[in-house]
């Protein structure tokens, strides 16, 4: 039997918004600024994790790996260390967009 289809190459993607695209979803941005811990719990709930696991580098790395998003653990650490609220809001925006697209 002949092979008709070749394996597809690994295709990495990007986050759907930038870290600093807070104006794309002002509601999420305000949520993150006013109640950062609650936003983390919301992300963790979306991903089926323990409440406070939604904050920081580990959840970002897990999400990035699950959706083949370019980056590294070092990059995840630096983004979450330098601007944790912006990084957490970016993650929530990406989750919401993937839900709308039916790919979450």
- Checking if the pLDDT of 96 tops 90, the result is yes
Within 3-103, where are the H helices?
A: 26-34, 36-46, 57-66, 73-82, 84-101
- pTM for this predicted structure: 0.86
pLDDT tens digit sequence for 38-74: 999 999 999 999 887 889 999 999 999 999 999 999 9
φ and ψ at 79, to 5 degrees? -65, -45
pLDDT (0 to 100) of residue 52: 76
CA distance readout (Å), 97 to 6, 30, 55: 31, 17, 19
């Amino acid at each position: 039997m002949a092979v008709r289809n070749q394996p597809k190459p690994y295709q990495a993607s990007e986050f759907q918004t930038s870290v600093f695209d807070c104006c794309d979803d002002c509601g999420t941005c305000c949520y993150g600024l006013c109640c950062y811990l609650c936003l983390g719990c919301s992300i963790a709930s979306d991903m089926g994790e323990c409440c406070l696991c939604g904050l920081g580098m580990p959840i970002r790395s897990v999400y990035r790996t699950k959706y083949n998003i370019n980056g590294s653990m070092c990059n995840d650490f630096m983004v979450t260390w330098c601007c944790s609220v912006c990084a957490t809001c970016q993650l929530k925006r990406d989750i919401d967009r993937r839900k709308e697209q039916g790919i979450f």
